[in-house]
Structure 1
């Protein structure tokens, strides 16, 4: 089953992360490849200050500066993984280097 991993970070904590974090990501990506798991790397997102939120009511759109939710942890990136079940998705989420600086939300993709 395919799962999207949504990476949420406290942006201040991420700014203090050591440069080795990116090397840890390279090792994480290599481990996924060696395990033979179908993996689609995503992208790191720009800070929440660069976000815009659009809300439509009737025929009027409102565009707000900033993210959808004003919380300490913000959506910072994503990737997709294809594993047999949620338990395996959890295993890989715990190995993701970003889990040390925030949280990983696991969402199954619809299979229609």
Structure 2
């Protein structure tokens, strides 16, 4: 089975990712002194999270382990419930996707 290179996401233009993403290693991430979102590019060898600094990464990780890192915030997904009235949107709503509606205060970010 073919797999993309570890740094493929970092090679995408920022207009597609919505943020700057950099490829590196655990050793690079350990040198960070500011909050940064760090995740493994393929597996789940450690939790993807915003680490306050590089010292928060597990000391058990191999320094050569590839990572992706970005701004100090995780990706955001917005979940919007469908209208409870079939065929009618929430009052004052805007379309959130095909057939989905959203209303201020009714969506939650995850």
TM over 0.5: no
TM-score (ref. length: structure 2): 0.23
TM-score (ref. length: structure 1): 0.23
**Structure with more of its chain in helix, by fraction:** 1
**Structure with more of its chain in strand, by fraction:** 1
